[in-house]
Amino acid sequence: MGAHSIVVTAYGKNINEAFQNAQEEAEEEYGRDIYNGAINNCSFIRDVTNKLGQFSESDHLDEWIINNTNKREIMGYCISEPKLNTNKTKSHVERIPQKGTRKWVTKYEAYNLYNHEEVHVSSDKLDDCISKARKLVEAGKINSLDIRITKHLEVGNTKCARVNYKKSKTERAGTYIFVGFAPC
């Protein structure tokens, strides 16, 4: 299979985010076929923004990149610097009030010793939980279980707040150019 040269413009907070955005957009448009001729099947190997001053036009830099990359390799450079968020506070909190009362229940849960997210037994009573956990261990299905006391929300809303990103009025993404060879 062959390769053809590509030039892709992408936007992001930095060159790595812009490359990732370009890959996601190409995958959405061209799919995952490894020979689709798009940037999503290439690797970003180098930021050459510092070389812009050595060339009179970006076309000459693009030509230099083509001469210095192989199949599936991409180099990139910035043509417009991003303007980052300079706000002192970069988030906004939205509180979600609870209407009525919340009802909590005590549970006893037997967790895998090495994976504390994996619950094997859950019971309202400690003795029930212990006897069920013993049966599992004695059956040879699991070597060890930790039993913990937990509180579960039975009635009420679990969501109590939301934290949102607060964009700056002057914030904008940078513009990046990616050049190289995509497999086709």
Count of structural domains, the chain: 2
Could you tell me if 38 and 80 lie in one domain? yes
Residues 69 and 118 in one domain: no
Q: Are residues 116 and 144 in the same domain?
A: yes
Digit-coded pLDDT (tens) for 76-89: 999 999 998 888 88
Residue 77 token pair: 């450079």
pLDDT above 80 for 116: no
pTM of this prediction? 0.63
Domain membership of residue 179 (yes or no) is yes
CA atoms within 13 A on the CB side of 24: 9
Structural domain containing residue 73: 3-85+169-183
> Is there a domain that residue 58 lies in?
yes
With a cut of 80, say whether residue 1 has pLDDT above it.
no
- 22 with 52, same domain: the answer is yes
Q: Is residue 91 part of a domain?
A: no
- Look at residue 53 and tell me whether its pLDDT is greater than 90: no
Same domain, 81 and 7: yes
21 and 75 in a single domain? The answer is: yes
Q: Is residue 23 in a domain?
A: yes
Query: Does 93 map to a domain?
Result: no
At residue 154 the predicted structure's pLDDT band, cuts being 50, 70 and 90, is confident
133 and 66 within one domain = no
- Tell me whether residue 126 is in a domain: yes
